[in-house]
Structure 1
């Protein structure tokens, strides 16, 4: 029987495998933190018992949701199965503003569904020689409330469940902070991926802190090849990355259905994930 249902952990691992096959390069340990954000926000359509299409629409707060992982298994494309999970996901969001990072091929479809472009997110790839610095220390559980507040001030919304899980260290995902005058001045998380590692979220006010933080994250993850997704408004970060040999390899359009959050990104800001914002 064909049906749309909530994903299990095993279902999500399957869908992340589809994403890997499409070159999206997910992390090695994303599923648990994704589900912690909103266990009811991951939808899968089965056709004759086989997984066919998927989407996530995670309700981060009472007024904001984020759409991602919109993907169909190759054998089931062009049959309308994607629309079924799309509709289920948006129904889950209710009256919330919904954000997404749309690939160029799909942006006009999103416009027809009421989404409005608000900017770009540019993915950079480059290599960093890992090194330690005296001003770096591991991220602690006690840091998370302050980081949640910093994130909310920059993204314009609370994402406490998601980031509380994401910022908790695992064997493949770790974080560092720079503390100055008793407050967090910069922080970042890095996770091992199918290829290299991705940095995000990432927040720094100073170029020197951003450079130290990136080098420290490269050292602790043990992978020199790094990817980071940067909003187009963060001109200082684009300049810093270009100056260190990073190259843009991919971009998406940040789009919203409903009132866009009031963002105020730090000069050096990296998106946590394109799947959950």
Structure 2
């Protein structure tokens, strides 16, 4: 390992490089993801620089005083296996202090994450397939309403299904360029909300947080029907937590098939959240 190796937070332009690397690794980030991610913790994205050149990235984003999420852990292929990634990991995780840290890691790295104190909570499974085919397995009815800003009601609804408050993130996520957000009310009561966004390849739906499978199905239908007909031949992806069997059933009813999976892990006991209400994970990079 060279001694001319420096570790520091990334600038916003360098975060765009990290997003490009994630795309190269097959994570298929959204087109507006970087700006949304930076809204949570501007000092949460780190890089390792060898002779001034970026060769490794990681994010450890602090949501609040208790919870952080780790992602974008990538070392350039030319520099793997030389200890650069480990040094960056150690420096970046120190940014989280004594917070509980979560991550979504590829299955083959699960043992390495366990060595750093992470415990498996459950698997997340990415389903994918053509939008046109997915719509055939969904209801036609339009029951939802546009969600153009973060309301206190939506924030409280989301909080039950996420380990920390994330108002800054959601304020950007709901309104980012290309994102479409919908909410579903029954008898003037919020029963679910969701977002669809354009990605490097196709579209992703996430989050979808709903009281039950019927609400989730109606929301997913509304989100997909918000996509122009001209792109219905493109793929849509839905990431679902394996313990929520109803979410997996919804994906299969849409004709989607598993294409990728991650291990959701935490540095301590898994936080008590309503996994049975999560029908679409927001993002593997930020939870």
User: TM-score with structure 2 length normalisation?
Assistant: 0.90
Structure-2 separation of matches of 1:235 and 1:126: 19
Question: Secondary structure, in 3 states, of the residue corresponding to 1:94?
Answer: coil
Structure-1 separation of matches of 2:102 and 2:69: 5
The answer for the alignment partner of 2:123 in structure 1 is 120
The answer for the alignment partner of 1:152 in structure 2 is 159
1:33 aligns with 2:41: no
> Aligned pair in 2 of structure 1 residues 268, 152: CA closer, same or farther (>3 Å)?
closer
| Greater than 6 Å deviation, 4+ residue runs | none
Q: Are the counterparts in 2 of residues 202 and 269 from structure 1 also a CA contact under 8 Å? A: yes
Moved more, 244-253 or 263-272: 263-272
Aligned mate of 1:228, from 210, 219, 238: 238
Shift of residue 230 of structure 1? Answer: 0.7
Q: Are the counterparts in 2 of residues 153 and 263 from structure 1 also a CA contact under 8 Å? A: yes
Aligned mate of 1:259, from 263, 269, 286: 269
The answer for the alignment partner of 1:138 in structure 2 is 146
Structure-1 separation of matches of 2:188 and 2:194: 17
Please report the RMSD computed on the Cα atoms of aligned residues, expressed in angstroms: 1.7
Structure 2, unmatched stretches of 5+, are none
Structure-1 separation of matches of 2:190 and 2:286: 24
Q: Are the counterparts in 2 of residues 234 and 265 from structure 1 also a CA contact under 8 Å? A: yes
Shift of residue 105 of structure 1? Answer: 1.6
Question: 1:82-135, CA deviations, whole angstroms, 9 ceiling, x for partnerless residues?
Answer: 112211111000000000111012110000011111111111112334697431
Q: Are the counterparts in 1 of residues 57 and 72 from structure 2 also a CA contact under 8 Å? A: yes
1:163 aligns with 2:170: yes
Show the 5 A alignment for 1:97-116.
97-116=100-119
Show the 5 A alignment for 1:163-202.
163-167=170-174, 169-202=175-208
The answer for the alignment partner of 1:94 in structure 2 is 97
1:85 aligns with 2:95: no
> Aligned pair in 2 of structure 1 residues 208, 128: CA closer, same or farther (>3 Å)?
farther
Aligned mate of 1:65, from 64, 68, 74: 68
User: TM-score with structure 1 length normalisation?
Assistant: 0.93
> Aligned pair in 2 of structure 1 residues 153, 5: CA closer, same or farther (>3 Å)?
same
Structure-2 separation of matches of 1:19 and 1:185: 33
Structure-2 separation of matches of 1:91 and 1:268: 30
Q: Are the counterparts in 2 of residues 235 and 267 from structure 1 also a CA contact under 8 Å? A: no
Shift of residue 268 of structure 1? Answer: 5.0
> Aligned pair in 2 of structure 1 residues 48, 221: CA closer, same or farther (>3 Å)?
farther
